[in-house]
Structure 1
Amino acid sequence: MTEPDLIAACLQGDPRAQRQLYNQFAGLMLTVCRRYLKRQEDAEEALLLGFAKVFRALPTFRQEGSFEGWVRRIMVNEALMELRRREPMHLSFEDFAQPENLASTPATADTQLQAEELLALLQELPTGYRTVFNLYALEGYSHPEIAEALGITEGTSKSQLSKARALLQRRLSGGRAAAQTNQPVYSL
């Protein structure tokens, strides 16, 4: 069944089509939710609530652009709402007030870094850092969009991204020392 046919069948209330749509996107969207929420149970809750919204909002999908992108945006918004319920968004400033502690170059994921390892590193970030990093680096949101979504200023969004990158780079640099003891090496 093509995607437009699947959407049409879901709009008709066909439970098999709804199950197929869920099965087609659930794994990917759970990964999206996990990037924002530390606990698997919270990510699963966001996923289920997100799919309920997808099915309710399906009549508003205008068949313009990617359906997967439309579903992803709903899931990101739901994960952010779940994040607000579960982990108050305290933006961390820790010891990053010093300019030398900030990342000076854009970070890129090295091919040695496995997806699960990256997720584990992201989960260790403070909530504010992790959320801004995910929205910017992984979802492609702009700083004005992040600021609006999180109720912060653009400057705070930029600062949180820079601090997240710096902290990730620091943690990855520590991984290089671990490589001498046959531990995996990470780099950003």
Structure 2
Amino acid sequence: MLSVCRLYISDLYHAEDVMSTGFVKVFKNLHRFENKGSFEGWVRRIMVTTAIDFIRQQKNIEFSTDEVEHFEGVQMPGLTEWSVEELQEVIDELPEGYRLVFTMHVIEDYSHKAIAETLSITEATSRSQLFKARRLLKTKLETLSASAHGQV
């Protein structure tokens, strides 16, 4: 569950605190688990919600409101040439709103509707944030790749 918290919170110590808080919530609410779906999935949702609550307390999350009319496909470069740590660093560099939506949609497999409800934004804003996150990640990964190959 630390890796789940770490996806949302770049500082390891804060991620550990959030994980501990999440586990307190899990133990306090064990009686609410209804054996529908996996226990791990239930715990994971609690960790995600706890991480988002922490981020809201720490920062005023801003979502760019300029809606993108047409989302062209962003072809992401192959990810096999980077380590998990390198990819996490690049994701950590994304603006908070981009990072939250990207993580929730791509990594946690939340729908845009669920993201919108969780973050109190519109589905269109969720789609826009995801598109912009992918576009920025692609640029950052291409720059990282070029510098690794001495092309900068």
Question: Normalising to structure 2: TM-score of the pair?
Answer: 0.89
Of residues 108, 112, 120 in structure 1, which corresponds to 2:89?
A: 120
- The answer to whether 1:58 aligns with 2:27 is no
Q: Residue in 2 aligned with 1:90?
A: 62
Uncovered stretches (5+) of structure 2, i.e. residues with no partner: none
* 1:128-147 pair list within 5 angstroms: 128-147=97-116
1:181 is paired with a residue of what secondary structure? coil
CA distance in 2, matches of 1:55, 1:108: 41
Of residues 47, 54, 72 in structure 1, which corresponds to 2:19?
A: 47
Q: What is the CA RMSD across the aligned residues, in angstroms?
A: 2.4
Percent identical residues: 44
* Alignment length (residue pairs): 152
* 1:163-178 pair list within 5 angstroms: 163-178=132-147
AA aligned to 1:162 is F
Higher relative contact order (CA 8 A, sep 6+): 2
Equivalent residues of 1:143, 1:157 under 8 A apart: yes
Distance change (3 Å), C-alpha of 1:106 and 1:55: farther
- The answer to whether 1:37 aligns with 2:9 is yes
Uncovered stretches (5+) of structure 1, i.e. residues with no partner: 1-28, 183-188
Question: Normalising to structure 1: TM-score of the pair?
Answer: 0.73
Larger Rg: 1
Q: CA deviation at 1:105?
A: 3.2
- The answer to whether 1:159 aligns with 2:131 is no
Q: Deviations over 1:97-141 (max 9, x none)?
A: 797xx7623647622222111111110000000000000000010
Q: Deviations over 1:14-61 (max 9, x none)?
A: xxxxxxxxxxxxxxx111111111222221121111000000111111
